[in-house]
């Protein structure tokens, strides 16, 4: 009987682990967690967006000035 209990316990552990993995990689849940993080503290995301804007503007400026 112990063997069946062990199998049942391992099956439950595996089910919980798979549900946790599914929860972590589910695109809708990832988006929701990201939205919550942005709402709680937007500074890092705004800084990253500003960095991207500056990088794109810098590349555009280099391309414009190199052509002259």
11 vs 13: CA distance, rounded Å: 5
Q: Where are the domains of the chain?
A: 2-67
Q: pLDDT of 17-43, one tens digit each?
A: 999 999 999 999 999 999 999 999 999
**Burial (CB count <10 Å: 0-12, 13-18, 19+), residue 34:** exposed
The label of the residue with tokens 């503007």 reads 57
What confidence score (pLDDT) does residue 1 get? 61
What single string gives the DSSP state of each residue in 28-43?
HHHHHHHHHHHHH--H
Output the pTM of the full model. Answer: 0.56
Distances (CA, A) of 29 to 7, 22, 34, 41, 50: 31, 10, 8, 18, 26
């Amino acid at each position: 009987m112990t063997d069946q209990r062990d199998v049942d316990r391992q099956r439950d552990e595996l089910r919980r682990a798979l549900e946790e993995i599914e929860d972590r990689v589910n695109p809708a849940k990832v988006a929701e967690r990201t939205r919550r993080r942005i709402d709680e503290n937007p500074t890092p995301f705004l800084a990253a967006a500003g960095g991207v804007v500056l990088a794109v503007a810098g590349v555009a400026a280099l391309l414009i000035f190199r052509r002259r």
